[in-house]
Amino acid sequence: MKARALFILSACSVAMGQAQPIQHGPLLYCHRTANEDAPENTLASLEQAALLGCNVVEIDLRRTLDGEIVLNHDGLLDRLTDGHGDVEQTNFAELQLLDAGAWMAPRFTGMRMARFDDALRLARSLDIRLILDIKTKGIGADVLRILEREGMIDHVLFNGEWDDIRRMLPSAADAGYGAAWVQPGVTAAEVASQQRQGKSVIANFSANSHGMDLAGMKAAVAAGVDAINVDFPRLGADAVGRDVESKIRRLKEQAQTGDDAARSQAILKLSRYQDPDLQSWFLRWLDNPSPRISHTAALALLLARPALTSGQLTSAARANNAAARANAAWLLGQLGSAAADLVPMLSDPDPGVQLEALRALGRTKGDAPIDAILPFFQSSDVNLRGAAALALAHTRPNGAAKVISAQLQKEIDRERSLAEGYVAGGRKNITPEQIREATSSFRAQMAMLHALSSLHDADATSALVHVAFQPVHEFAQTDSVVGCFQLWDRIGDDPTIVVQQLSSTNQASANCAEWALVKADIRVLPTVRDALNTPSARVRAIRILAWHGDADALLAVQKIAHAAGPEKDLAAWAAEKIQILNAPKD
């Protein structure tokens, strides 16, 4: 029985598809994920439990109104999210709108309620076992279906409302079967007595006054218990002889020696530990002369909790190391810092720092002096020109569309000239330098298109229409494609120009117009209906109205279907499609 209780919890890692040895010492059970380290029942808290040494982690399961199985203990949204009501009476899509982390601390803002499927995949990757505390009655079939699909039935124990699972799967493992749960202060004699009866002994340090009793945990381990159950896994890990501090120290050592790849990997592993003391280490590595190490440290500072503040980057922004300055600029942008923090970096002598500062301005708060940005449009570095477009659109949106549109046209013309030169020289003779030149031009054009896409005035829409429908050579087709996509949400007020393109003899332009009108909102439909009277646009207009299920166009489409024209069969199909999409109605 004891073996059954500890079952697969201590099964070899090979069964989980992992080539790692079994951890020695008593098992460490973690109650309700790492609920004292990160918001309970979130994926981040599940990961923390594993990182901090837990072999077995308890999670709570409920079913949403639309049938998704999620991790939640209370059933009430009011404690663990910024929402209100009950989990079981809320659709999963709505639950995903709620913040499931900020209630605990600002550093966890933006976390979402976890799906059971995702928790299982994470548990498998972390090589931990789960205790499933079923909170919603009657969800056993759904739980088993997901477990079978994820191949995890043999890696979980059940608790709570799981009678239906027991009936459907008699071999399902009971979390309490063959186990003796004892309280802190248990003696070696008491432990031995239970073990002689074939039971595994689990000392409980969760949800009681002994939650932080490290001495008591160590005493229980010394008494010979098979496992301890904790709310504070870092204490429990220390008690069972797998202290977290030693893991962190080894990773720090790995991050300081060896090749860049291994060091970067160690730094990223450290970022997963929610330890504020690690920030000083990441800041130190940010100033590393290796661009890869420096950027990895910047990423670690961004990912780690608690998050970095912009004030902590002052020294990095002024470092002698250009990589550190560039990555400090990148971090300031990711943190949404004030534009004023980045403007001085536009005068940096290193182009790489200037580039990151311009890109970061596209994410910051506040205005930047226009005179600090416009000169970059004249730079010989195409990357700086592209980044300048992003900075201008974000910090000086008024009038930016005209400047960016004019610059984009120059870049397209440059690329056309490049392309003609490639063709004249024979494409087999394209050099690596020419490839880099073309790639940089492409990147700059994409940056400018993204900049235009972030603007929502008439000038921006006009510029995107021009890009979408201008004749292009094969090297600039992507510009037109992106321009077409951007029209979807812009043409509702006045789709006239796009509808006119349905008659274009340029198939790419006509295709772009047709699909943009299909994806646009219903405000475009009256103008599309009028296009039924234009022979060169009629076929495309019929298809657009069909995909929209436009009931107001049904009679006109049926009239075409009953006529003897070339669109007869298409119109009949469209009429059927419209009727399908409009029936039944209440």
Please report how many Cα atoms fall inside a 13 Å half-sphere around the Cα of residue 199, on the Cβ side. 18
CA distance 4 to 8: 8
pLDDT for 470: 84
pLDDT for 82: 97
CA distance 173 to 131: 10
Does the pLDDT value for residue 1 go beyond 90? no
Those residues whose C-beta lies under 8 Å from the C-beta of residue 319, and which sit 6 or more positions away, are 287, 325, 328
CA distance 125 to 16: 8
CB 333 within 8 A of CB 315: no
Give the chain's domain count: 3
pLDDT for 431: 80
CB 10 within 8 A of CB 22: yes
CB 393 within 8 A of CB 367: no
Instruction: Report CA 584 to chain centroid distance, whole Å.
Output: 38
Any idea of the CA torsion for 395, 401, 404, 409, to the nearest 10 degrees? 170
- Same domain, yes or no: 439 and 581: no
pLDDT for 435: 82
Which region, left, alpha or beta, applies to residue 59 given φ > 0 means left and ψ of -120 to 50 means alpha? beta
In the structure, what pLDDT confidence band is assigned to residue 19 with cuts at 50, 70 and 90?
very low
Among 177, 197, 219, which residue terminates a domain? 177
Domain assignment of residue 216, yes or no: no
Q: Which two tokens stand for residue 182?
A: 């004892």
Among 177, 200, 234, which residue terminates a domain? 177
CA-CA-CA-CA torsion sign (405, 407, 410, 414): negative
Average pLDDT of span 144-163: 97
User: Lowest-pLDDT range, 7-11, 306-310, 374-378, 409-413?
Assistant: 7-11
Domain assignment of residue 312, yes or no: no
Q: Which two tokens stand for residue 189?
A: 């004699």
- Same domain, yes or no: 413 and 539: no
CA distances from 378 to 13, 197, 384, 547 (A): 59, 83, 9, 46
CA distances from 281 to 249, 286, 293 (A): 12, 9, 12
Among 486, 509, 542, which residue terminates a domain? 486
Domain assignment of residue 150, yes or no: yes
Q: Percentage of the chain with pLDDT > 90?
A: 85
CA distance 463 to 362: 20
In the structure, what pLDDT confidence band is assigned to residue 307 with cuts at 50, 70 and 90?
confident
Domain assignment of residue 425, yes or no: yes
Does the pLDDT value for residue 428 go beyond 90? no
pLDDT in tens, 481-498: 999 999 999 999 999 999
Full domain range(s) for residue 535: 492-585
Peptide bond into 584 cis (omega under 30): yes
- Same domain, yes or no: 482 and 540: no
pLDDT for 16: 35
pLDDT for 18: 36
CA distance 385 to 442: 12
pLDDT for 414: 86
- To the nearest whole number, what is the mean pLDDT of the chain? 92
> Which class for 197: exposed (0-12), middle (13-18), buried (19 or more C-beta within 10 A)?
exposed
| Residue 203 DSSP code | E
CB 54 within 8 A of CB 236: yes
pLDDT in tens, 311-364: 899 899 999 999 999 999 999 999 999 999 999 999 999 999 999 999 999 999
- Same domain, yes or no: 131 and 147: yes
Domain assignment of residue 289, yes or no: no
- Same domain, yes or no: 409 and 540: no
- Same domain, yes or no: 407 and 528: no
- In 421-519 the beta strands, taken as DSSP E runs, fall at none
**Strand 129-134 to 56-63 pairing:** parallel
CA angle 287, 290, 292 (to 5 degrees): 100
Any idea of the CA torsion for 97, 102, 103, 106, to the nearest 10 degrees? -170
- Same domain, yes or no: 480 and 502: no
pLDDT for 306: 81
Does the pLDDT value for residue 8 go beyond 60? no
Q: Which two tokens stand for residue 419?
A: 């392309």
- Same domain, yes or no: 140 and 45: yes
Peptide bond into 349 cis (omega under 30): no
CA distances from 228 to 33, 128, 185, 244, 362 (A): 14, 15, 12, 16, 50
Of 340, 371, 370, the residue nearest 357 (C-alpha): 340
Cβ atoms < 10 Å from Cβ of 264: 21
pLDDT for 586: 60
pLDDT in tens, 30-54: 999 999 999 999 999 999 999 999 9
In the structure, what pLDDT confidence band is assigned to residue 4 with cuts at 50, 70 and 90?
very low
Domain assignment of residue 519, yes or no: yes
Average pLDDT of span 211-215: 97
Of 580, 511, 503, 512, the residue nearest 548 (C-alpha): 580
- Same domain, yes or no: 56 and 97: yes
- Same domain, yes or no: 163 and 36: yes
Domain assignment of residue 455, yes or no: yes
Higher pLDDT, 129 or 15: 129
Domain assignment of residue 52, yes or no: yes
pLDDT in tens, 541-584: 999 999 999 999 999 999 999 998 999 999 999 999 999 999 87
- Same domain, yes or no: 469 and 501: no
Q: What is the CATH number of the domain that holds 71?
A: 3.20.20.190
CA-CA-CA-CA torsion sign (348, 352, 356, 359): positive
Q: How many helices (H) and strands (E) does the chain have?
A: 29, 8
- Same domain, yes or no: 526 and 474: no
CB 23 within 8 A of CB 92: no
